[in-house]
A = this chain, B = another copy of it.
Amino acid sequence: MSDIAVTYQVISDKADVSDLARKIAIEQSVETPESLITPEIETKFVGRIEQIIPVSNHTGKFTITLSYPEEILSQQYNQLINLCFGNVSMYQNVKCIGVDLPDKLLAPFAGPGFGVDGVRECLGVYERPLLATALKPRGYSDEKFADLAYEFALGGGDIIKDDQNLIGSFEEFKHRVALCLNAVKKAEDKTGKHCLYFPFISAPYEKIEMYFEWIKSQGVQGVLLAPLIIGLDTARGLASKYNLIYMAHPSFTGSYCVAPNDGMSHHLLYGFLFRLAGVDISVFPNTGGRFQFEEHDCKKIADELHRPLANLKSAFPCPAGGMQYSQLDEMCQWYQKDSVLLLGGSLLEHSEKLSESTRDFKAKILEEFPETITMTGKIQSISACEYDARSTSSLLEYIEFDDFNWLGRESVNYKKTNNISFEGIRRVELVGQSGEKSKFDLRYFEVTQNGFSSKEMHQHTHVIIVVRGEGEVVVGDKQYIAKKNDVLYIKPMAIHQLKNFNAEPFGFYCIVDRDRDKPIVVD
């Protein structure tokens, strides 16, 4: 299949159903009157009606399958949502029940960063469902939460997540998370078993990365996000940028699925869309709990998270929402080993000591899935869970200058590659690559006589301060002799090169944004 196929379930008179199919096909692609659709636009963009089938035993219910040429997607997640279910979400009695993408269109989606295997590796647990709990209720002191985290980890639990109601200031957040992390570590030291703790982040756009940077700096390995509140693509982007295990909370999602004839199928949202958006663990209400999700919907979510999909990793279904101790064996059987079983209130209520309750709950899981792999004893350094540390040296408050070297900072050759577009350059990373919290990096470069930098361009800017000797700087079609303390601003995409024709080394500081694009070497 080389096209995108989207299937809707509709309620319609038989006489009108093909008109409705055509209406949806236009609504979702070009949203324009028939008279403006040229044959070229028709071929390239408008959805084609592939089939219309009456749903058996449901008079007036049909499924409509439309297909779209692959170009329409532009490899964008947001456009996928818009295409399958943007405007048509506002139609009554039209429910999106299936989306099929060919492998080559699926490939550009990142999917889960860790997936089932990655999360298992972090935990060193391979042969059974994972046991998770939530820190609740709001109103407990941070010390009480830390105590719960400690007890759960001590009892052999696998994953602790914040309750999604734990909202407060950044200071309050840091206080709680630091205490809980510390408590989990204390338990890990006793048990030798790793336990993951996922704080819930729901901060305003302006501040949200500050939260991520902070948890990352504390060694947190995963996060709980509510994708329909902060945005499906925002959640994806943040989890990916900070390389965190991404557990998705279903807050504010229900309206897409609860109505029988509107919205979309459960598996499309909690399965397909979440997985494409990088969710590693998808939390949803289990059937038989406080919510009215049906058994077959829950199973289809789990299937969708595991289904082979191009190069995408599979993700964990995480049934939750009022699950009881007595249901654990059933849940194990339903969801099988690649699942996360989230038990909050019932675990807290089970006995006086949470560590003992956790042991009881876990024992019940182990009855169904005896652990065959021995614990490795200590928490291991697993690359997939490590901070993406580019640091070559340690964070210093005072970096002492010593004849164009700096104490505690290595001097290295610039860009060791096969590329010979540069010559005679050394580099010292001064600030930015050692864990500093700035949004920029400060480097020192020095060009020896007849040396030169690559002739290149990039989206990010360079700010240059000359500190030693003088050099020739070419920017676009301009040329400068840059002398000591001259400052240069190289604007985005300006082609530039720095050269030295003098015996005295040409040294300069260069400041760049921390997050920056790769240079394009021009010749």
Please tell me how many copies of the chain the complex holds. 2
Bound-state CA distance A345–B23 (Å) is 14
A65 at the interface (CB under 8 A from B): no
- B264 contacts A31, CB within 8 Å? no
* Min CB–CB distance A12 → chain B (angstroms): 13
CB-contact partner of A489 in B204, B259, B321, B396, under 8 A:
B396
Q: List residues of chain B with CB within 8 A of the CB of A492.
A: 437
- A234 contacts B226, CB within 8 Å? no
A49 at the interface (CB under 8 A from B): no
Bound-state CA distance A290–B203 (Å) is 37
- B264 contacts A204, CB within 8 Å? no
Bound-state CA distance A344–B36 (Å) is 11
Given contact pairs A40-B139, A76-B167, A489-B436, A205 touches B229 in the complex (Cβ within 8 A): no
* Min CB–CB distance A295 → chain B (angstroms): 15
Q: List residues of chain B with CB within 8 A of the CB of A396.
A: 489
CB-contact partner of A85 in B81, B140, B252, under 8 A:
B252
A501 at the interface (CB under 8 A from B): no
Q: List residues of chain B with CB within 8 A of the CB of A76.
A: 167, 202-204
Bound-state CA distance A38–B255 (Å) is 32
Q: For A514, give the chain B residue with the smallest CB separation.
A: B439
Extra 5 A-B pairs, beta carbons < 8 Å, given A92-B259, A259-B261:
A79-B202, A82-B251, A205-B237, A400-B486, A439-B439
Interface of A toward B, CB cutoff 8 Å: 23, 27, 29-33, 35-38, 40-41, 44-45, 72, 74, 76-79, 81-82, 85-92, 136-140, 163-165, 167-169, 202-206, 210, 226, 228-238, 240-241, 250-259, 261-264, 285, 290-293, 321, 344-346, 348-349, 395-401, 404, 406, 430-431, 436-440, 442, 459-461, 463, 465-467, 473, 475, 478, 480, 482-492, 494, 509, 511, 513-515
- Counting from the closest, the 7 A-B pairs by CB-CB distance are A231-B231, A205-B237, A90-B254, A89-B254, A41-B139, A259-B259, A86-B251
